[in-house]
Structure 1
Amino acid sequence: MHVHETYDYAVIRVVPRVEREEFVNVGVILSCERARFLEARIEVDPVRLRALDPAIDLALVGRHLAAIPAICRGGEAAAPIGLLPPRARFHWLTARRSAIIQTSPVHMGRCDGDLAATLDHLMERMVRVARPAD
C-alpha cells in the first residue's frame, strides 16, 4: 500500500537588486510535518545572477544561502532558530522579507512518500535551467 504524504514547499530566490524585483530561483525548501522532514537544496548559477547584477558579491550570497540548509537540519549550530521545532523553522525561513534572499509563497503538494525524490523533482522543475543541445 502506498503512503501518500502532503508537503509544503517554497522556492528560494536571490534578488540581487531588491528595488528591481528581478530574481533567480536557486533552491527549494520542502517540509512535511507528519514525516518530520525539513530539507533545502540549493544550486547557484553565477552566470544567471551576474546577468541581473554584474557586481553581485557571490561569496556573500553563498554564505547567506548556506544558512538555509543549516537551519533545516536544526540543532545548536543553527541556534537560536535551529532549536525550534521543524515546522516553526520552515515558517521562519519562508516568512516574507525584503532582502537579497527571499522565498516564493508557500505551495502545497502530495507525493508517494519519497520526499527526497520530490525535492529533486522540484529542483529540476523550478531551479535548473535546461541547456540547449549542441
Structure 2
Amino acid sequence: MAMVLASVENGEISTVKNHFGYEFEVTGIQGFDDITNRGSEQINELDCKLLGKTPEGAGVYVTYYGLIKLHQNVVDVLTKQSMSAPFDESYITCNPRSTLDDLVSDKYRWVTKEEFLNKGRFVRGANGSLYVQYMSTLFARKA
C-alpha cells in the first residue's frame, strides 16, 4: 500500500441546465486529495477536502470519498501517454458532500439536501496539467 497527497488548485464546480432548475457554481477551489494506493488490487482510494467560493464570494467546503480502478486508459492519462480517458471506459467515482457558510445564497442550498454519485474521468490540458471531470447524478433525495 502507498499513500500520496495530491494538491487541487483552481478547481471549479458548475451545473448543466437541468429540469430541476438547480444551480451550483463554485470557483477558485483549493485543497487536497489523500490518495491510498492498494497496488495489489489496482485501486486508489480518494479522501478529498476542497474549499472554494460562490460567485458572490461565500465559502463552500466539499469532501468526498471515492475510488479509482487503475484500468489501462486511466494509467495512460496519468503517465502522459494519452490526453483523456472516456467516461464510459473509466472507473472513477466519488460521493461528495457540501458544507456551506452562512453567506451562501438560498439558490445553492439544495446541495446540502441531496445525495450525489459522481462518475469521473481524467483529462490533460494543453499545458499537460492533469484534471478530473465528474458527472453528477442525483442519487436519492434526503427527507
TM score, norm. by length of structure 1: 0.32
Higher RCO by CA contacts (8 Å cutoff, separation 6 or greater): 1
TM score, norm. by length of structure 2: 0.30
Higher helix share: 1
